Every structure is written in structure tokens, then in C-alpha cells.
Structure 1
Amino acid sequence: MEVRTGLIVLFCLMGLTWAQPVKYIDCGSTSGKVITVDINPCPSEPCQLHKGDSYSVNVTFNSNVNSEKSTAVVHGIVGGVPLPFPIPVADGCKSGIQCPIVKGQTYNYQASLPVKSEYPSIKCVVEWELRDETNEDLFCIKFPVQIVN
């Protein structure tokens, strides 16, 4: 009986650690098509991002183009104004994507989103773009977040 109870608890805890699909808006993916967006951890929406923590962002997409490279550009939109949101690795080819990118293939982009302790406690929208070699968006997504202590 104890073994069965232990397994149930283990599976419940594993479920809490998996990435959660989030609702997003496609904001102009011209060179690709987004399939799913997951943020871990994000148990509810808007995602609450705690200062000093880091979050994983995973975007699965299909490419509509061939490209030798990809570059991520991230902004926090506050009051309609896009403010740069630096990420540790902007090179998409070092973020789970094997380059060159081939038209018709599916890719899983994986990145880290660190939330600095000096960020203000606010609600905003994150705009995340992954651009191809011609500066067109392989994907462009927007999702709401709330930065908290």
C-alpha cells in the first residue's frame, strides 16, 4: 500500500515540474509557424516571474525558409513601449536549433529567461522574436507576464 501511495505522490510532483503550455499571440511569424509555446515554471497565467529566478522558454515551430542562422530578440512591452529584455544567448543555433535551418522542418527552440532583481514589479507583455538570416521572423510571439518579488 505504501509503495502505491509513494508512486502516486511521485507522479503528482513530476507533473508540477513539466513545462506548461501558455496562451500566446502570434505577432508576425512570416518565415515560420508556431506550434506550441511552453514556459517552465508557469502554473497559471499570466506567468508570474519571480525576481532573481530564471525560466525556460520553449517554442516548437515549423520553418518556411532555409536559413544559415537565427537570432532571438526579446522585449518587454510596458505601456505600449518595447523595452529590450536581454537574454543570455541570442544565437538560436545555440538554443536547441541545429543550423542550418531547413524549410519544412520542425524545430524546438529552448532559451533561458532570467528575471533580474532590479526589474520593477509590473505586469507587461513579453515579445519574443526569432529572426532568420534575412531578419524576417521565424516566429514572433507575445505573452503576458507579471514580474513579482
Structure 2
Amino acid sequence: MSYKNGVLIFMIFCALFVKLNGEFSDCGSKMGKVDSISVTNCDADDDKCILRRNSNVTIQIQFTPQKDIKELKAIVHGVIMNAPIPFPLPNGNGCVDSGVTCPLTSGTSYNYFTTLPVLKEYPPVSVDVKFELKDENDEDITCSMIPSKIK
């Protein structure tokens, strides 16, 4: 992997760890509704969530699917200068160790969560985190953009 690709991947990784209570935007939720997003180490009054290096951060998404769901997958991209860069999660299976048990029932509220480290090696950079929860057909249940800054 080149240095440039490595830097982009860890920027995405860092940008994932935020705390937002309403400062996110919907980026194409099709099969569900985001009720709230909470990510640690972020002041809801800031324009961007501050991600502190050398710490662990937990993201929680409360959502309600609008159809029955058999499988849940978490997909994350860091969006830098309008370019989405995939970030592989340690556990992309949203039905395991995430607070959610599959199958999901339409109209029922669920709380998905994941915890990841923000490494001290990550550079200070602004990035939008695109966090998607997808179903077994790879359709977006929810899609949220979280404005972030690594410090």
C-alpha cells in the first residue's frame, strides 16, 4: 500500500469516531430512518466533531427500519474533497456484537453501536464520515454524513 493510500485510510478511520446529536445529514436512507446518532468526544455545538487522537470512540445509531431485514451490514467511507474512500471496519456484520440481533422487524427501533481506536499517528485533517447500514440486498437502510475533524 502506498503512503498516500495509507494516510487516507487512517484519516477515514479517525473520522469515524465522533459524537453528534443532530448535526448529521441524511445521505440517502431508503429502507429506514435515523432517529439519532451519538459519537463520543464531540460537542454538539461544534460545526465538526472533534476526534481526539490516541483514544477510543464509540458511535451509536438509533434507527427504525421500514421493512423486515434479515442481515445488517455496516459500511464506512471517509469523504475527502468529494472523494469517498472505503474504510474497512473490524466488524462489518451489524448483527454481531453491535447491540442489534437479526432479523430486524419493520417499525421497531434499534440501537447499533461500534467502538474503534483513534490512533495518535493520524494527522489532523477535516473529513466527512459516511456511515451506512445496509440490508441483505446491499440497499441502504440508513445513510448518514458526519462532519468531523481529527485533532
Identity of aligned residues (%): 35
Kindly provide the CA deviation profile for residues 39-87 of structure 1, in whole angstroms up to 9, marking residues without a partner as x: 1121252111122222111111111111211110101111111112232
SS in 2 for 1:41: coil
Q: Is the 8 A contact 1:51 1:147 kept in 2?
A: yes
Q: Is the 8 A contact 2:41 2:52 kept in 1?
A: no
- Structure 1 or 2, whichever has the larger Rg, is 1
Residue of 132, 145, 148 corresponding to 1:145: 148
The TM-score normalised by the length of structure 2 is: 0.79
Q: Is the 8 A contact 2:58 2:114 kept in 1?
A: yes
**How far apart are 1:100 and its partner, in Å?**
0.4
Runs of 4+, deviation exceeding 6 Å: none
Which residue of the partner structure matches residue 62 of structure 2? Answer: 60
The TM-score normalised by the length of structure 1 is: 0.80
**How far apart are 1:89 and its partner, in Å?**
1.6
**How far apart are 1:116 and its partner, in Å?**
2.9
One-letter amino acid of the counterpart of residue 57, structure 1: I
What are the residue-to-residue correspondences of 1:28-107 with 2, within 5 Å?
A: 28-44=28-44, 45=46, 46-94=48-96, 95-107=98-110
**How far apart are 1:122 and its partner, in Å?**
0.4
CA distance in 2, matches of 1:111, 1:132: 17
Structure 2: tracts of 5 or more residues without a match: 1-18
Aligned residue pair count: 130
